[in-house]
Each structure stands twice: as C-alpha cells, then as structure tokens.
Structure 1
Amino acid sequence: MNVFDPVRYKETTCQQWQSAAKAWNDWSPLLRRWLGPATEILIEMSQIGPGSRVLIVAAGAGDETLQIAERVGPTGYVLATDISSNILDHAAENARRAGFTHVEARVMDGENLEVPEASFDAVISRVGLIYFPDQQKALAGMRRALRVGGRIGAIVYGTAENNRFFSVPVSIIRRRANLPPPLPGQPGPFSLGGPGILTDEIRRAGFHDVEALLVAAPVCTPNAADCVRFERESFGALHQMLSGLDDAGREEAWQEIEQALRAFDTASGFEGPCEMVVACGTK
C-alpha cells in the first residue's frame, strides 16, 4: 500500500531546495514580475505598513522579503525563515545588498516556529503552506507568533485547471514515471487551491475575518522553452517526481513538456496560465 511518509517528505523537500537554491535566486527578476503583484495585494490585505514586525514562513531566496522590508521601513522588522539553509543564505545576502539592516534570516521548520509568542504583527507565507505535511500545525504556530489583532496571510496556487503552466508538466511526469495520484491530505502544489479550501483551513486554525481573492498571475517568458528552463532549473518538486526515470526518460519528459507548453506561446511571448489564491485572517 502507498503510504505517505511526512518525515521523509520534509527531508526530501529540504534537499530539493538545498540543490535548487542558486537557480531559484538567479530567477529572481522573473519571480518579481510573476509573483510581485500578488505579493503587493497580500501586503495590503495583511495590513503591513511602516514599523510592522513581520514573520515570513518559507521565505525562499527572499524576493518577498525585500518587498516587505521596503514596506515596513527601518522602524520595522522582518524575520525570513525557511527549512533550507542554502536558500536563506541568498535571502540574507539580498537583504544586505539592498541595505536592509532590519531583516534577519533564520533556518526554521515552518511546522515548528521557534519564535516568541505574540511577537509579530503579521505572518505570511507565499507558496509555502501548500508543501507542509501538517498544515494545521503550521497555522497554529503562525497564530501563536501573532499578537492579538495580528494578521496571517498566504498565497497558494488555485486549481490545477487554472495553473496549467505547472499542472501540465506535473501530469506528463506523473504519467511517464507511472506515479500514483496524490493521497488524500497529502501536501502538494494544488492542495489548497479548490474553492474555499484555504479560507476554511485558516478559520479552522482559529482566525476570524478571513477573506480571499483570486489573482491572475500568468508566467510570462519569451517563449515556452524559457518557461521550461525556469521550471527545469528551479522547481524541485518536478525533479523529485522525475527521480524514478533514467537520464533518457527524464530528457524525453522535458521534451514532451516543452511541446505541450507551446500551446501558450503567443505573438508577444509565452503566457503560462496561473491563478493564485491570496487569503488573510485575523487573530
């Protein structure tokens, strides 16, 4: 019987990001164009402003950290956390280069947030909560970190149908690698994307005034080949799915993915369908 092992999953996830850290950081300009507008909406919904103390869970290489650090200003404080030390090294260096002395980076498991209780005005996670095996445990830790009246904010992918830039590669790899469908409750890119799922989870964790918006966030590159290069270099989840294939099998899978994604090439460039759910709640 196929049984999900959360411990092994987290170990593998950490290894993925340790390996993909540099590539993810190198793609920061694309990440800002792609996710920056949704992040601005998240900042507004989370009521982050000058002087705010903000905890970022699964911060990655720190692109959203820079956006938030700019918003809170030197009187605020931003703690960027991630399970991968390699990727946080980039986050810390990027903040240093930007002159943000009010940013700290600390390796931390998002399901075990070792921060003082009620010490933050906002806790956010951009495309991170979906990959936690125990999402309620993660949300409980975020709630504990917030002061009363503080806001939680999260960005997740919507449905697979509305995120074909990602779901098309996933489906091709799943078929070629003969992988079973995800188990119920298993984390993954679309685990919180269905209507009302994310807001229900946030309410179940004890938050009120929960709200959500759907935000179109197409992935725009010169052509499908560039999108495939982005995913091939920096999407660790796809590499994990491909691990059961030999070199030739992996190469054939990427070729099929590029062929399929060419359906989204336009006269002005590639526009990969992507829709994000942006949600917030109050402690």
Structure 2
Amino acid sequence: MSITFDPVQFKTTTRAQWEAAADAWNRWGPTIESWLGSATETMLDDAAVTTGGRVLDVAAGAGGQTLAAARRVGPGGEVLATDISPAILGYAQQVAQSAGMSNINTLVADGEDLSEVEAGAYDVAISRVGLIYFPDQQAALAGMCRALRPGGRVSAVVYSTADRNGFFSIPVGIIRRRAELPPPLPGQPGPFSLGSPGVAEEVFTKAGLTDITVTTVPSPVRMRSAAECVQFERESFGALHQMLSGLDETGRAEAWAEITEQLAQFEGPNGFEGPCEMLVVTGTK
C-alpha cells in the first residue's frame, strides 16, 4: 500500500465520489445532525465561536456545521464554507438560503490548498469529519493557520479508534477483507487516521498549534434498524464506495449483505444503536 498509494488519484476519486453522494448526504441531513450534533456543538465550544466571529469551515460538505456556526456568530459574523466538491457545496448554499442566513459564503477549494482564502482574516477554522481524509494533513492545517489571526483556533471532529466505532469499522473491515485491501499505513488518510492516542496531538503540534485539547464525545448512531444504517452508509459514505470499487456487482452485494448481518448485533427493543465515538481536537495558532 505504501508503494501504490497515489494521493493525487485518491483526491480525484474522493472528489468524484462526493459529487455523486452529494444528494444523498443532503437528504440524510437531519440524521447526520442528530448523530453529529453533540460533537459539532463541542467543536464550536472548544474553538470559542462567539457572536461577531469569523469562521472558516474546511470540507464543509452539505453545511450542517456551517449553519450551526453561523447561528453562533450571528448577523455580525461570517462563515466561509469550503469544499472540494462543487455539488455538495451547492447544497450548503441551499441550506443557508432556506434558513435565511445571509452570513454564510461558499468557496470551492481543496482543503490542502486554501490560497484563495484571505490570510489572517478568521478567528476560527473548523473541519467536521474532513481532516481525516486529507492525504496531506499538514498542508491542510497550514492553510487553516494561514487564514487565522494570531491567537485564532483550529478545531476538528475526528473518529476515535476503530474499536470504538463499530457502526463504521465493521463495514470497513468486511469490505477490506473481501476486496483484499491492506490496512492503511500510519500517515495515510482514512476514517481512523487521527484516532489513536496521541496521534491528533502530534499532528496539531507539528503544525505549530499550541494549547491542544482533545475532548471525547460519545456519538451513537441511532436508527430504526441495522438495515436503515446500511442504507445510510451505502448511499452516503464515499469512503466505503472507494474501497468497494475493486469488487464486481455480485461481490459488492455480498459485502453489503454481510455488513447488514453483522450490524444487526446493535439492534435492540428501541431500534438500532451503532457504537460511535468522536474526538474534538482543538489548538491555538
């Protein structure tokens, strides 16, 4: 994997997959906000997002956390949402317009190249479940820091370790085994790339950030059934589709069937509750 991993191709594929998944990610918006709402509020708390502030949202997706930040800063503040996918950023614009929020702007930009973002203009840079998928996390953090005023903060929501995130790690493990994919090496992008103890702190420290905190946020995925969770992941999780690309149609169908069977262990009298734990990592420029 270390020999064949191509960060340029990875990014090209990622962009294409988010273009394809944009509609689904938007449609599942209420589910996503219910799932990630606590982690989002913790991120905004730890980053000290307050009235009148200017916030840069990197890998904003369909804009759920963008809207949460915009509500915090109020009409006197501003949120700039950036994403590599024009399609998914279009949904962020629609969300802002539907909510009547005039303090949100959007910019199509690679999270590893924020050169079009005004330097020293922002109080906070946030990234919700985005930084983990950047091949060059240092480039992304450097761009965020460049955009911040002195004393500004960077805060990111990331997954903790695979064993704490069964709703996602079980599908990843099944697909990896069936597609005969090796595990990612340290430093390569992936859902759990910043989850191991000390890794996120090391990455933030290397980027020159100080006063680093890591807050653990239990974030169980609650749905009616395992089948509904699989539908959500099947429609919306670009990372899984990228891993499945080497299997034929029959192989993909068999993988999803096994995933559904395995996730059923998290069903109970009150429906499905998939284990998930997020970390909110914050540092000061």
Q: Is the CA contact 2:60–2:83 (under 8 Å) kept in the aligned structure 1? A: yes
Q: Measure the CA separation in 2 of the matches of 1:95 and 1:79.
A: 11
Question: Hey, what does 2:272 align to over in structure 1?
Answer: 270
What is the TM-score when the length of structure 2 is the normalising length? 0.98
* % identical equivalent positions: 60
Structure 1 stretches of 4+ moved >4 Å:
none
Q: What is the Cα deviation at residue 246 of structure 1?
A: 1.1
Partners in 1 of 2:156 and 2:4 — Cα distance? 28
Amino acid at match of 2:264: R
- Tell me what 1:160 maps to: 162
- The code of the aligned residue for 1:119 comes to A
Aligned to 1:62: 63
Q: Are 1:110 and 2:111 an aligned pair?
A: yes
In structure 2, C-alpha distance between the alignment counterparts of 1:152 and 1:181, rounded to whole Å: 29
Give the C-alpha shift of residue 127 in structure 1. 0.4
In 2, the alpha carbon distance for the partners of 1:209 and 1:240 equals: 36
Contact 2:126–2:154 (8 Å) recurs in 1: yes
Q: How far apart in 1 are the matches of 2:157 and 2:280?
A: 5
Are 2:10 and 1:12 equivalent residues in the alignment? Answer: no
Measured after TM superposition, the shift of residue 183 of structure 1 is 2.9
| Residue 196 to residue 183, structure 1, CA distance change in 2 (3 Å) | closer
Rounded to whole Å, the distance in 2 between the matches of 1:117 and 1:66 is 23
Secondary structure of the residue aligned to 1:161 is helix
From 147, 159, 168, the counterpart of 1:145 = 147
| Two-structure CA RMSD over aligned residues (Å) | 0.9
Length-normalised TM-score, structure 1: 0.98
- Show CA shifts across 1:160-192 (max 9, x none): 000110000000011111112213321000000
CA distance in 2, matches of 1:61, 1:27: 10
1:26 equivalent in structure 2 = 27
| Deviation, structure 1 residue 266 | 1.2
CA distance in 1: counterparts of 2:40 and 2:186, whole angstroms: 29
Q: SS of the residue aligned with 2:164?
A: coil
Q: Which amino acid aligns with 2:68?
A: Q
Q: Matched residues in 2 for 1:224 and 1:193: separation?
A: 24
Flag structure 1 segments of 5+ consecutive residues without an equivalent. Answer: none
CA distance in 1, matches of 2:187, 2:93: 33
